[in-house]
Amino acid sequence: MSNSSPKSLGQKIWRVISGFEIAVVCLGLLFLLTFFGTIEQKWIGLYAVIQKYFDIDSFLVFPSRGDGKFIFLPLPGAYWVMVVLSINMFCGGLIRARKGWKTVGVLISHFAILFMLVAGAVSSVSKVEGQMSVYQGEKSDFAQKYHTTTIEVAKLDEEGHRLPPKIVPSESLRSLERNDVLRAEFPDEGFTMDITGMLGSSNLFMERTAERSNEDGPVVDGFFLREAEYNKDNELANMAGCYATVKDKEGNEIQELILWMGNPSPVSFVHNEQRYLVTLTMEIWPMPYEVELHKSVGEYYPGTRKASTFESTITKVANDQREDYKIFMNNPMRHGGFTLFQANWSDTGGKPFSGFAIVTNPSDKWPEYSLYVATVGLLIHFLLMLFRFAGGSSRSRKS
């Protein structure tokens, strides 16, 4: 970078924006955020930490201790620190930096790291993740999105078939807390639904067999919801639950429902002689192709419960085109912007089953490309430094 003294205000601002000082401060802040964001996972789990420290919506972070008390060290959200760092890197590491053969490596590596940060930003905004579960011999054309809770209300036709459901979207339910009330309108159907008592992790109890306390939710059809300890080690095991009161246009109660994510079958109500099915579920994510699972194999090392291999033989069916794939650990199937990974396997119940993690991410391969470029840049720069160092050492020994 040029060290000449700035003259105008604009130059001064430019110098600050592109200066090493901002880079060091941003890196220092990222260091602290990463450190606290690692430690705190022990107490609140990975997903909660990501939301607290690294999410785009996180502007100010108060790191806290295991007992939940804050450490008085407010820090800016990591996402926004990275935005500032990227701007600084662009201005200082690319535009303002000296251009010459001595700095070519630095320029290349700055460019590559910037590209990697952009990949991260794109990923955090547009990446979608979910899971598809298929039993051997069966097929599926949908997945369920992780960390999304939706309410599906489906009408049954005259023959009792489920029609495409109306959805209460996860965006509305995400910020809902236990004492909040959300009114979902279904004008075409002529009813509303008041959603209350939302719990991120809950258990469903039968009144007859469990003692109900003041903290528990109301009893509906002999059942009630009780808040459960949040499982931070296996976040997908947390079962959300809530109550829904269905009312007609005049505000008269039609039925009260208890919705629990772990419930294998939907609950139902009747309005105007029409039956509706209601489920609290992870958001359904239709796939552009169907997956037929022919063989699902899980093996453990002999005499242990240590997984040796999980493997699935599938056929992808899209527009009458059939393609066979073998998916196993470290060997996903990439097609049409979707990637399918072998995430888990089970044969409990006698029928083998494969759980596929599904991801769509426009910047899927960008970090890989930027790594190659960054490595070349850093190698050029550090090798030049090493030659200079070795030359210096040898000259100083001679002298």
Partner 1 sequence: MSQNHLEKTRGLRWGLVAFLLLIEFSLIGVGIKGSVTPSEVRNVDGYNPWSEKVIEAARDIPVQDGGRIKPLSTFARFQMLSYHGAVTMKIKSGGKKRKITPTEWLLDCIFRPELANELPIFRIDDSEVLHRYGIIPKDRRARLSFNDLLDDYGKGPGGKDRLLKGGKEISEKRSKEERERKSMTPNQIEAMEASEKEEEKEEKRKEKLIMEFAQQVLNYEAMTKFLDFGRIELDAPDFPDELFKDEGRDPEKFSTWISRWNQLRAIFIMSSQQGIAVPDEVESLAREIELNLNSSRYGVRWYPPYDEDENEWQSIGDRIITILEKQDFPWDTIDDEVKELEALNEGEVPERLKMAGFWKELMDDMATMEGLVEASEKPDSPEFLAALESWKDEATARAKVRGEGGEIEGEVKYYQRNYFMKALVFFLIAFIFSAIGWFGKEGRFGKGIQIAMISFFVLALIYLAWGILHRSLLMGRPPVGNLYDTIPFITLGATLVMGVAEWMTKRNLLVSLGSAIGVAGMFMAFRFEYGDATDHMDPLVAVLKSNYWLATHVVTVTLGYSGGLMACFLSMVYVHLRLAGVIEDDKKFRRFMTRAVFGIVCFTLLFSLVGTVLGGIWANDSWGRFWGWDPKENGALLIVLWSLIILHARLAGWMTDWGIHLCCIFFGSVVAFSWWHVNMLEVGLHSYGFIKGGSVIWLFYGACGAAFVVGVIGYLIDRNSKKAPKGE
347 touching partner 1, by CB under 8 A: no
Helix (H) or strand (E) holding 378: helix 366-398
Q: Is 151 exposed, middle or buried (0-12, 13-18, 19+ CB in 10 A)?
A: buried
Nearest to partner 1 of 215, 320 (CB atom): 215
Applying CB under 8 A, among 242, 341, 352, 353 the residue interacting with partner 1 is 341
Beta bridge partners of 226: 203
Beta bridge partners of 87: none
Nearest to partner 1 of 216, 283 (CB atom): 216
Q: CB of 340 within 8 A of CB of 313?
A: no
Nearest to 51 by CA among 230, 185, 298: 230
Applying CB under 8 A, among 274, 331, 336, 387 the residue interacting with partner 1 is 331
304 touching partner 1, by CB under 8 A: yes
Nearest to partner 1 of 251, 303 (CB atom): 303
56 touching partner 1, by CB under 8 A: no
Applying CB under 8 A, among 6, 11, 12, 31 the residue interacting with partner 1 is 31
Q: What track of x and - describes contact with partner 1 for positions 348 through 387 (by CB under 8 A)?
A: ---------xxx----x--xx-xx--xx--xx--x--xx-
- Rounded to a whole number, what is the largest CA-CA distance in the chain? 101
Q: Provide the 3-class DSSP secondary structure of residue 112.
A: helix
219 touching partner 1, by CB under 8 A: no
Q: Which segments of the chain are extended strands (E)? A: 60-61, 75-76, 128-135, 139-155, 166-168, 181-186, 191-199, 202-206, 223-227, 241-248, 253-260, 267-271, 274-300, 307-318, 321-328, 333-335, 338-346, 353-360
Nearest to partner 1 of 161, 305 (CB atom): 305
Nearest to partner 1 of 114, 359 (CB atom): 359
Map tokens 């419930």 to a residue. 263
Q: Report which residue type is found at 231.
A: N
393 touching partner 1, by CB under 8 A: yes
By CB under 8 A, what part of segment 105-144 binds partner 1? 116, 119-120, 123, 127, 129
Q: How far is the CB of 386 from partner 1 (least distance, A)?
A: 7
Q: What track of x and - describes contact with partner 1 for positions 63 through 102 (by CB under 8 A)?
A: ----------------------------------------
35 touching partner 1, by CB under 8 A: yes
What the block records as the tokens of 221 is 């059809």
CA distances from 118 to 23, 79, 366 (A): 17, 11, 9
Quote the CA–CA distance of 83 and 89 in Å, as a whole number.
Answer: 10
What the block records as the tokens of 136 is 């051997």
Q: How far is the CB of 384 from partner 1 (least distance, A)?
A: 11
398 touching partner 1, by CB under 8 A: no
By CB under 8 A, what part of segment 184-203 binds partner 1? 203
Nearest to partner 1 of 202, 281 (CB atom): 202
By CB under 8 A, what part of segment 243-302 binds partner 1? 300-302
Quote the CA–CA distance of 381 and 249 in Å, as a whole number.
Answer: 71
Applying CB under 8 A, among 9, 330, 349, 350 the residue interacting with partner 1 is 330
# binding residues, partner 1 (CB under 8 A): 80
